[in-house]
Structure 1
């Protein structure tokens, strides 16, 4: 006889999956209707998940995923070896543009580099793996917030995290890429494009960065967008 399945755990995962499908949260009654359970039972599941920090309740009474869930997607990204599988794309981009190529994910209130390929140049950018970058002015951070789910972006702003303005994020989505803002303390410029999961939700940002004295980020944008599309294909199994 096989090990007995915990149906309560399956129901909890079903609740999380249902919340993930909602861009702006959902009430307990509506959620119970969608997953086929009593309101009281689903409400207890929601209260338990709130206590664990996996979801949060908005002022209007609806429930939504918390940013803590991003740790799971980040871990899945790492454990599934997607950073490793994207290395070939990063290597090609780094060789083609002769600059450092990186892959970053949203981690709490910042963008964190999970994979990087450098070029052997005398003047190069120090972009260490696990390095964290602000999301308001870096190319990767602006991409990750431009395509973030609305309630995730709202949660960041409610927590006091600086982000690009809505009109800037709209322009980034329209262009399909983002360029970093000037930083007098760091004379570099980067361009980034989004990598999507199978549901077309942003999973990571692929970027190339180089010193402003030689790197034309706007000119490199098409190559970076194409590279991000290739990594998206790898994620969906088409690569």
Structure 2
């Protein structure tokens, strides 16, 4: 046996661990609206400062992180380059945003498109504000709890680790979820799934706004328009809508 053979798995594990820790650091910086110092990054990630410093050097060398104000760190220009590349290559924006804009022009509440970000969070990938004078507080890039809100219910019901329970069985049967004051007592929302090829869930398309505009007759009307939109987007993505 080659002398290096037994060491390879350990090397691979160390490599994966380093990547995981570097991603934790990037997530900690992404989650903060201002640069963070070493102690703040350590508290956010649970990593030792010595480990963070070692990984920050590699991240700085690659442009993923920049050092500012002598002892603080922020996301670097490489992150922006990746974002621009994602914008160019991502077909979702060109498919979903026109459908969302059409919903708004038809007088709907504010549409958003959410994807699963972590075990506990969802990410608002796209958002278009309605023409109504009052709006709910959701913006593109917001991270929201996956266990509160209509879009979160959709992600839980149709995700790869589908949530059990009668409520989620009903959501799977109807491809429709509602939320009245769960995330914010003054707001409400409805949501439907969007699929791509082979029935893979792409995300949740939702309408949200002030709770007083979500009476039963309003929700019924929203359901029809939202399901039509979800079918359209699913077809454009090469999928088949189940209902």
Q: TM-score, normalised by structure 1?
A: 0.59
Partner of residue 225, structure 2: 223
Structure 1 residues 103 and 185, CA gap change in structure 2 (3 angstroms): closer
Runs of 4+ in 1 over 4 A off after TM superposition: 47-51, 75-78
| Equivalent position SS for 2:106 | helix
CA contact (8 A) 1:84 1:115 kept: no
The residue correspondences of 1:70-81 to structure 2 (distance < 5 A) are: 79-81=89-91
Give the paired residue count: 164
| Equivalent position SS for 1:137 | coil
Measured against aligned partners, the alpha-carbon deviations of 1:163-187 in whole angstroms (never above 9, x if no partner) come to x752111110011111114338431
Structure 1 residues 90 and 132, CA gap change in structure 2 (3 angstroms): same
Structure 1 residues 50 and 210, CA gap change in structure 2 (3 angstroms): farther
Structure 1 residues 85 and 183, CA gap change in structure 2 (3 angstroms): same
Measured against aligned partners, the alpha-carbon deviations of 1:129-152 in whole angstroms (never above 9, x if no partner) come to 011221222111100110112xx3
The residue correspondences of 1:20-169 to structure 2 (distance < 5 A) are: 52=16, 79-109=89-119, 110-149=121-160, 152-153=161-162, 166-169=165-168
Task: Give the distance between the partners of 1:202 and 1:214, measured in 2 at CA.
Answer: 28
User: Which has the bigger relative contact order, CA under 8 A and spacing at least 6?
Assistant: 1
Partner of residue 22, structure 1: none
Task: Give the distance between the partners of 1:214 and 1:102, measured in 2 at CA.
Answer: 17
Gaps of 5+ in 2: 1-7, 20-82
Task: Give the distance between the partners of 2:188 and 2:137, measured in 1 at CA.
Answer: 12
Bigger Rg, structure 1 or 2: 2
Task: Give the distance between the partners of 1:236 and 1:50, measured in 2 at CA.
Answer: 39
Structure 1 residues 93 and 50, CA gap change in structure 2 (3 angstroms): farther
